[in-house]
Structure 1
Amino acid sequence: MAENARGRVKVEQGQKRVRIYLRNKLVADTLRPLLVWESPYYPTYYVPAADVSAELKPTSGTEHSPSRGDAQVHDVLVDGTTAEAKARTLPESPLEELRDAVRFDFDAFDWFEEDEPIYTHPRDPYSRIDVLASSRSFRAELDGVVLAESPNSMILFETGLPPRYYVPITALNQDVLRPSDSVTHCPYKGAATYWSVEIDDKVHKDLIWCYRTPFAEVQKIAGLAAVYNEKVDIYVDGILQERPKKRY
């Protein structure tokens, strides 16, 4: 694994087959992906240029990174479909591993690790998730109003994040719940849907979420709800927990 002394960028050889599609058209297929930690929280993929089947058309755009160097911006063209300015190359990067690799904007394409789709960003091989049943009582409040209360919970422990307490939907205060159209994707857990909370005519957006059909690795939280630790008061066995700070 390489690390740039001028920044936190780490580069590591990935072990999974990675395929990238643009509107069902193959852009790249590699057995040699690079995991690059451009931020300390999660990696992104860089693909060897030799494994890119789409045409990369240079634009006039460039970008500078203190740690990765100057990037040339490219349009991605494949079978009459174009993703404008959605790829980067760094032929003179101070990180040698990146000089012959291509960085594709994650949100512009469909990504697969082996035969399974991935969302938001690649899974970090150094992250772990454990879901444990707990008999410790749980209560969540906001402005003195109880949002959820349960004699037990499923606690999800995820590397780098605060514990998340998952309780039955029936443990939520139905009087303050408001449906939300928001949907987010987690590379480890799947798609989450949300509720907002209304207290004294003020709506607090997306404070509670639920993975109704999570990935197999975290099936224990299926159909349970979690409350946003960072934005509410949480009591475990009657003890107020310190609100964690948002990581990113």
Structure 2
Amino acid sequence: MAESEPGRVDRAARLGTGAESRGRVRVETGGKRVRAVFGGTVVADTTAPLLVWEVPYYPTYYVPRADVRTDLSTPSGRTTRSPSRGEGHVSTLRVGDREAVDAVTEYPDSPLEQLRDHVRLEWSAMDAWFEEDEEVYTHPRSPYVRLDILPSSRRVRVEIDGVTVADTRGPRLLFETGLPTRYYLPKTDVRLDLLEPSDTVTHCPYKGRTEYFSVGEHTDIAWSYRTPLPESTRIAGLVAFADERVDVYVDDVLQERPRTKFA
């Protein structure tokens, strides 16, 4: 679904300082202090992380080996192979009675020289990640993603199966790098009687915790951020719909449904 939005396309036309690329993978040196916590222990703490775009949508952190508690990991004897990163040697992380199987990967002979003395920790296997002193969810923030949330007087009307489920002249428009415009609508202008709360909850590193709603058989077709992150407070409590799956009219003009990975 959109707005958990782990997927986004970076539009950067150039590489940052110290960047290296091979094939579709891009590597840059980051400037934030990054920490990973597992089992109540800080297992990685660095001020020189690498941002590695393993996929084009968002980066992954690689941490200098010297800044990782490698004494807590045990090689599993397994390997993984990437056409761009080479052969990865896999280890299991253990802290007390907790373990994260195959959560540690190193590429000592990678064709990408920058990766050779760095460690990749599986994001979802950690209990928490911090950029400086702020917890970050889902994936690292990309330095090439920008959010603009603007009030608008455009009329926005949303239909599902021919039924109007929202109609407002006071939307907030969210513009996010590489994604279609999202229309966030006041609840007073939404047919809340048609929205069924879902058990689905996701996180966005730019907006925060997302709650979802279904309409009839259309599962998780709307979402809301009750308490978004500070940079996204303008959408607090508003409702957005998956434009890929509904009909949106802006100033009475039917919009083309965007084609994204969330369709």
Q: Which TM-score applies when normalising by structure 1?
A: 0.95
Q: Deviations over 1:14-69 (max 9, x none)?
A: 00000101022111110110000011111010001110024221112211111111
Aligned to 2:43: 27
Alignment of 1:159-238 (within 5 A): 159-198=177-216, 203-238=217-252
Distance 1:158 1:24 in 2: 34
Q: Deviations over 1:155-193 (max 9, x none)?
A: 000001111100111211123211111111000000010
Whether the aligned pair in 2 keeps the contact of 1:46 and 1:104 (CA below 8 Å) is yes
State the one-letter code of the partner of 1:114. Answer: E
1:67 pairs with 80, 84, 99, which one? Answer: 84
Distance 1:161 1:186 in 2: 14
1:153 pairs with 150, 168, 171, which one? Answer: 171
2:138 pairs with 109, 120, 131, which one? Answer: 120
Relative contact order higher in (CA < 8 Å, ≥ 6 apart): 2
Whether the aligned pair in 2 keeps the contact of 1:11 and 1:34 (CA below 8 Å) is yes
User: Sequence identity, in percent?
Assistant: 54
Aligned to 2:93: 76
Aligned to 2:12: none
Whether the aligned pair in 2 keeps the contact of 1:119 and 1:186 (CA below 8 Å) is yes
CA shift, 1:151, in A, is 1.4
CA shift, 1:145, in A, is 1.2
More strand by share: 1
Whether the aligned pair in 1 keeps the contact of 2:39 and 2:96 (CA below 8 Å) is no
Q: What's the RMSD between the two structures over aligned residues?
A: 1.1
Distance 1:174 1:18 in 2: 41
Whether the aligned pair in 2 keeps the contact of 1:161 and 1:247 (CA below 8 Å) is no
CA shift, 1:223, in A, is 0.7
Alignment of 1:68-107 (within 5 A): 68-107=85-124
Distance 2:139 2:192 in 1: 33
Distance 2:192 2:48 in 1: 49
Whether the aligned pair in 2 keeps the contact of 1:208 and 1:226 (CA below 8 Å) is yes
Whether the aligned pair in 2 keeps the contact of 1:25 and 1:79 (CA below 8 Å) is no
Distance 1:106 1:122 in 2: 9
Distance 1:183 1:80 in 2: 28
Q: Identify unmatched segments of 5+ residues in structure 2.
A: 1-18
Whether the aligned pair in 1 keeps the contact of 2:212 and 2:222 (CA below 8 Å) is yes
Q: Deviations over 1:210-248 (max 9, x none)?
A: 001001111110111101111111110011111111236
State the one-letter code of the partner of 1:69. Answer: G
Q: Which TM-score applies when normalising by structure 2?
A: 0.89
State the one-letter code of the partner of 1:74. Answer: S
